[in-house]
Amino acid sequence: MQTNGQANNAGENEKGMPDFNAEENISETSHMTNALEVEPEEELIKKDQQLNEMRDKYLRLQAEFDNFRKRTAKERLELLQTAGKEVIISLLDVLDDSERAAKQLSTANDITAIKDGVNLVFNKLKTTLQAKGLKPMESLHATFDTDLHDAITEIPAPTPDLQGKVVDVLQEGYYLNDKLIRHAKVIVGK
């Protein structure tokens, strides 16, 4: 009779009965080991392909973003260069009127006609600029506001109700489409 250790070696199971599947179990185990070794290689190849795809996608996205950035920078530059075009075109009529008025100044003797001509040109300029969204600031006798006014100097207020208020405007302030584009230069009563 064989000992337990010998029975296992001869292909018998623990009860001493012959184990007909012993060799199959050994071969299945070796196949599983080979399968486990093959799977990481295949998985590694798949991961490498995924990495390459992601890298390619990233590079394409980066190139697309660079192109977008360059295109928007070019469009912004073109917009800045031509932004004033519409305003300039609208002011050409005022320029023409100013040139005609300057020519008339040298030959005209009637001061009233000259004043009327200059006033017409001035009103045309104001109307053109207002049509483009320019609006003068109402500063005279308004409460002094550092967000809207630049105080040039302070003088004694002519009346008590003008203390802390604008008593004179040296240079008008303006809004363009309700956005402040120039502060008014003012004299404030103290």
DSSP structure string for 118-132: HHHHHHHHHHHHHHT
Res. 40: pLDDT tops 60: yes
Q: Looking at the domain assignment, is residue 9 inside a domain?
A: no
Residue where a domain terminates, one of 42, 65, 82: 82
- What is residue 147's predicted lDDT score, i.e. its pLDDT? 95
**Mean pLDDT across 68-97:** 88
Q: Looking at the domain assignment, is residue 54 inside a domain?
A: yes
Reported confidence tier of residue 31, pLDDT bands at 50, 70, 90: low
- What is residue 106's predicted lDDT score, i.e. its pLDDT? 79
- What is residue 164's predicted lDDT score, i.e. its pLDDT? 93
Residue 26, Cβ density class (10 Å: 0-12 exposed, 13-18 middle, ≥19 buried): exposed
- What is residue 79's predicted lDDT score, i.e. its pLDDT? 84
Check: pTM over 0.75? Answer yes or no.
Answer: no
- What is residue 26's predicted lDDT score, i.e. its pLDDT? 54
For residues 171 and 143, give the distance between their C-alpha atoms in angstroms, rounded to a whole number.
Answer: 16
Residues 88 and 77 in one domain: no
Q: What percent of the chain has pLDDT over 90?
A: 54
Reported confidence tier of residue 34, pLDDT bands at 50, 70, 90: low
Which residue, 57, 75, 55, 77, is CA-closest to 67? 75
pLDDT tens profile 46-65 = 999 999 999 999 999 999 99
Structural tokens at position 155: 């003088």
Q: What are phi and psi of 40, to 5 degrees?
A: -60, -35
Least reliable range by pLDDT among 3-12, 28-37, 56-65? 3-12
- Which residue is associated with the tokens 């080991």? 33
Read off the CATH number of the domain in which 188 is found: 2.30.22.10
How many separate domains does the chain show?
A: 3
pLDDT tens profile 122-166 = 999 999 999 989 999 999 999 999 999 999 999 999 999 999 999
Residues 105 and 76 in one domain: no
Residues 121 and 158 in one domain: no
pLDDT tens profile 84-122 = 888 888 889 899 988 888 888 878 788 888 888 889 999
Which residue, 141, 131, 123, is CA-closest to 186? 141
Q: Looking at the domain assignment, is residue 167 inside a domain?
A: yes
Q: Looking at the domain assignment, is residue 179 inside a domain?
A: yes
**164 lies in which domain range?**
135-190
